Amino acid sequence: MTKLLKYIALLVAISANYASHAQEDEDDFEASPLDQVVPVADEPAEAPGPADAIEDSRTLEEQLAAEFERYRRLIGEDAFDEADVSAKRIVEMVIKIHGPRSLETSKALNNLALVQSRNGQYDAAVQNFESAVEIIEDVEDRLNEKLVNPLRGLGAAQLSNGRPDLATRTFDRATHITHVNEGPHNIQQVEILEALAQASMMMGDTKGARSILDRIHALNVRHFDNDKLALIPSLMRRASWQHAARYYNDERATYRRAIRIIEDNLGKTDPQLILPLQMLGRSFYYLDLTQSETAQRQMVTSGEIYFKRALRIAEEAPDLDWQEVANAKLALADNYIYVQSQNRARRLYNELWTFLSADEERLAFRAETLEQPVPLFADNLPRYAFSGADANTPTDDLLTGTIRVDYTVSTRGRVRNIRTEAIPPEFTDMQRMVHREIRRRVYRPKITDDGPLESDSLLFEHDFFYRQLDLDALRKETGEPAQRSSDEPQDDGTDKQR
């Protein structure tokens, strides 16, 4: 019996008793796109309902159809723990009907892996995606287009599991398969390339990420050549990727291009201009430190004109949703906090407080946006305490460290009284980067009936990956025992910086 068959046999044996318990993934990147769910039967289910409620007289195929419908319903309700159990039942039934090495079994394993990824069970998800891939390779071939779906899921699970090196190879293979089957310019590869860019940025390869982003843009321009407005969503995504890679000038150029397209096709007062204008304004919160101090000071105030224009369009647009108007006013008020124009900021926040006090729906929005401090901008922090997390770097048995920062936000939105704690404390470079990032942030302060209020005892946590060999090297430099467990609690407050 092959390794795959042994694994599937074990999965069937434990499926009836298994219940998953996992936490949400906290990264901005989605673990696995659940729209990859694929049907495991050719015919749609006739009636939904729990498998236990299906009459014994029904055939196994009918039970499978009903269980798959139940699985889809649970996914739609975000009941992922129950969907996990349902997916395991489906795998068991599919194997009984179609055998362990069938395309139907591959689809069932893929659906199970998707739910496991959503639940944060990345090791299990990786194993099931790999099994799905192996079955397709055996039944079809190594370049079959059916491989793209499980490869996308596998790469996403690897990425969320802290293995961008493995994810890069997986996404590269998925992209190659789309080229073989759909041609080198197919638009279907864009989502894979975006995930590949994410992996490159996680490994610190901003040049590689930029090259991928240029490739994505070329594909979108080619595909939407006769429909410029349809290019807007891809331009907005491109700008967000450029921002993540810290190519701020390129980001601004992309937003300006989106704005020009909307103006040329819909006019200069169309509400679709509001979002790109706001995003262009926010881009000026991020300065190009290679420029002179004079140029940086000029850029600090450059965003105001875009926020003002966005607010004017929002206020003059007929039938625009109240929340969009509130967001436009909020963005301008935040800009005044950023440039330290406190009187103008206070006036707009007061107007917003009154505007958002009209009914329960607006009060809920007020509580979320005004009654707690909100950062106006935040840079991505490195995930690895070592450089070059690529295919040539051993990343097995990665350990997780945590840096906690306690701080205060003043009535002017500035960070004060920073206290940093790290476990393990030896990675001082990582501590300094986190400390510096928190210190440079500007916040929308907590707003009350009486105006801005200082907020203290705020907590920020950053998890990072490190290798035991790097920790041992740092301890050797300081003369500490090299093999002390990283999970051992620190004493005497030596891991605090003030």
Tokens of 260: 């020009």
Q: What burial class does residue 249 get, using C-beta atoms within 10 Å of its C-beta: 0-12 exposed, 13-18 middle, 19+ buried?
A: exposed
- List Cβ neighbours of 291 (8 Å cut-off, separation of 6 or more): 299
Mind listing the pLDDT tens digit for each residue in 256-276?
Answer: 999 999 999 999 999 999 999
CA angle, residues 150, 151, 157, in degrees to nearest 5: 90
Q: Which run of H or of E encompasses 477?
A: helix 468-478
Mind listing the pLDDT tens digit for each residue in 103-146?
Answer: 999 999 999 999 999 998 999 999 999 999 999 999 999 999 99
pTM for the predicted model, two decimal places = 0.69
- List Cβ neighbours of 75 (8 Å cut-off, separation of 6 or more): 34, 37, 83, 115
Determine the pLDDT at residue 48. Answer: 44
For residue 388, pLDDT beyond 90 = no
Determine the pLDDT at residue 170. Answer: 96
Residues of the chain with CATH 1.25.40.10: 1-161
Determine the pLDDT at residue 453. Answer: 94
Q: Which CATH class is domain 399-497?
A: alpha beta
For residue 387, pLDDT beyond 80 = no
DSSP conformational letter for 481: -
What is the spatial distance between Cα 315 and Cα 306, in angstroms, rounded to a whole number?
14
pLDDT confidence of 204, banded at 50, 70, 90? confident
Interval 18-33 mean pLDDT? 34
Per-position b or e across 382-395, b if 16+ CB within 10 A of its CB: bbbbbeebbeeeeb
Give the number of other CB atoms < 10 A from CB of residue 31. 23
Tokens of 441: 């942030």
Determine the pLDDT at residue 486. Answer: 41
Contact between 472 and 395 (Cβ < 8 Å)? no
Contact between 210 and 247 (Cβ < 8 Å)? yes
Determine the pLDDT at residue 353. Answer: 95
Determine the pLDDT at residue 467. Answer: 87
For domain 1-161, give its CATH number from 3.40.190.170, 1.25.40.10, 3.40.50.9100, 1.10.10.60: 1.25.40.10
Query: Reduced to 3 states, what is the DSSP secondary structure of residue 271?
Result: helix
Determine the pLDDT at residue 210. Answer: 85
Interval 303-317 mean pLDDT? 95
Residues of the chain with pLDDT > 70, as a percent, come to 80
Determine the pLDDT at residue 297. Answer: 63
Per mean pLDDT, which range of 242-246, 307-311, 395-399 is the poorest? Answer: 395-399
Mind listing the pLDDT tens digit for each residue in 69-111?
Answer: 999 999 889 899 999 999 999 999 999 999 999 999 999 999 9
For residue 230, pLDDT beyond 50 = yes
Query: Reduced to 3 states, what is the DSSP secondary structure of residue 462?
Result: strand
- List Cβ neighbours of 260 (8 Å cut-off, separation of 6 or more): none
Determine the pLDDT at residue 166. Answer: 93
Residues of the chain with CATH 3.30.2420.10: 399-497
Phi, psi of 419 (to 5 degrees): -130, 125
pLDDT confidence of 484, banded at 50, 70, 90? very low
CA-based nearest residue to 132, from 95, 161, 107: 107
CA angle, residues 99, 104, 110, in degrees to nearest 5: 115
For residue 24, pLDDT beyond 70 = no
